[in-house]
Amino acid sequence: MEHTFEKFGLQPFLIDAINEIGFKEATEVQEKLIPAIMKGESVIGQSQTGTGKTHTFLLPLFNKIDPLKAEVQVVITTPSRELAEQIYQAALQLAKHAPEKIIVQSFVGGTDKKRQMTKLNGTQPHIVIGTPGRILDMVNENALLIHTAPVLVIDEADMTLDMGFLEDVDQIAGRLPNNLQMLVFSATIPQNLKPFLKKYMENPHYEHIQPKSIISPTIDNWLISTKGRDRVDVVYQLLTTGTPYLAIVFANTKQKVDELADGLKSRGLKVAKIHGDIQPRERKRVMKQVQNLDYQFVVATDLAARGIDIEGVSHVINAEIPRDLDFFIHRVGRTGRNGMNGTAITLYAPSDEALVADIEKIGVEFSPKTIKNGEIIDTYDRNRRTTREKTSKDVLDPSLKGIVKKSKKKVKPGYKKKIGRVIKESNEKKRRVERRSQARAIKKANKKK
């Protein structure tokens, strides 16, 4: 059977590298976009984390690198150091199999800038990977010469926009050749990103990869109402009930993360906090502590749901429901990995009903829960009233309401049957009257014709 990657026409060293990783079959995003990238097309790949997009761009780009040209041929930007490091390591693994040396270099904030500049004096890398700010900094210092690169990759474009780095990426793109091949990968395509894409891309090849399985079957999705309750209290109760191994609490904004983290700390919990305003050096330190299990609880924005691998997450708590469904999938996907069990808990207020319904539409089944006497127990479905109304009996004639009210009191069984008969006859009579009036209306209409 043909190795699925061989059909792309990749060089033998790349097939060797793929075999070493253990990739057997191309993922959907790879199937759809590698051929387009090989042809030199600009592409937009909308897909969630874990769909194989890093190799979607690395494989065809490595395939086109000319090792004999001592110049920058590919620039890859990513919004966080952690993501840059992941792509850098994946690129090094491919490069080590190359018959001729392919130079890959990483440029991220918080590293020794002078040392990087000295290294660039001697030779320029073939592939540049890094955070927008540091890459631009090196370009402005005339140390990194990117004007020769015909390809720009923007990974996690929505996060780049969210963290305020799009202006830097714009400046980087402006230094590259006019016939630029731009590859954009993003979980979502926000409205604010579109003008930038339009500026540099003309009729790009666009693919939206829908996740095959929305949520892993090993994840339990619980839904808890916060009606009339303090959200921080609810989160505190969830974190101290059943003692999760490692829990990530997600909020939509940096302010809400601060509020939750401060509230939980004031209640005596040791909490790690991760969001865009935390300095990279501090974030790196916190992440290391989380991985060492110095912290059991992490409060974060969606930044932490992408590109930062935290092993062994047993619980994810959505303290707020994200407005974008893709973010919900990213968050919940942090738990229940590698066939392990996980619990995702979503808190909702009455105003969130529409958002909950949207999540259910994509195939997520919630188990309604509540916290009572220090225990998480099953509760009723929030839609029970609507369901009950749909199956309600015929509307009663006002004259019968009194009889029905009487029937609810303690009366003889025979009397109840009698009331039942009266109600049934009344409804039958009403239906006959309706049918007769409809028949008359039809006759009148026919006569007019």
- DSSP code, position 208: E
Stated as kind and residue range, the H or E segment containing 370 is: strand 367-372
Per-residue pLDDT of the chain in tens (449 residues, 90 and over written 9): 344 788 999 999 999 999 888 787 888 889 999 999 999 999 999 986 667 789 999 999 999 999 999 999 999 999 988 889 889 989 999 999 999 999 999 999 877 888 888 888 879 999 999 999 999 999 999 999 999 999 999 999 988 988 889 999 999 999 999 999 999 999 888 889 999 999 999 899 999 887 655 677 889 999 999 998 999 999 999 999 877 889 999 998 888 999 999 999 999 999 999 887 787 778 778 888 888 889 999 999 876 666 566 778 899 999 999 877 767 888 888 888 777 889 999 999 988 888 898 888 878 889 999 998 888 999 887 765 544 444 444 455 555 555 555 544 444 455 556 666 666 777 777 777 777 777 777 777 776 65
Domain range 219-378, its CATH number among 1.10.10.10, 2.60.40.10, 3.40.50.300, 3.30.420.40: 3.40.50.300
Query: If we measure between CA atoms, which residue out of 273, 271, 289, 341 comes closest to residue 312?
Result: 341
Angle at the Cα of 19 from the Cα atoms of 13 and 25, rounded to 5 degrees: 115
Give residue 391's pLDDT.
Answer: 46
User: Tokens 């004999």 map to which residue?
Assistant: 68
Contacts of 327 (CB under 8 A, 6+ apart): 187, 188, 302, 305
Residue 390: the pLDDT is: 47
Cα separation values, 11 from 5, 94, 97, Å: 10, 11, 11
CATH 3.40.50.300 fits 6-208, yes or no: yes
Give the residue extent of every domain in the chain: 6-208, 219-378, 392-436
What pLDDT is stored for residue 387 in this prediction? 46
Q: 66, 74, 73, 124: which is closest to 100 by C-alpha?
A: 66
β-bridge pairing 297-300 and 219-225: unpaired
DSSP-based three-state secondary structure for 368? strand
Residues 6+ apart with CB under 8 A from 254: 275, 276, 277, 301
Closest to 79 (Cα-Cα) out of 124, 130, 7: 130
Same CATH topology for 6-208 and 219-378: the answer is yes
- 3 state SS of 346: strand
Question: In this structure, what is the dihedral angle of CA atoms 438, 440, 445, 449, given to the nearest 10 degrees?
Answer: 140
Q: Please report the pLDDT score of residue 1 as a whole number.
A: 36
Predicted local confidence at residue 139, as pLDDT: 96
Reading the block at residue 48, the tokens are 């969630």
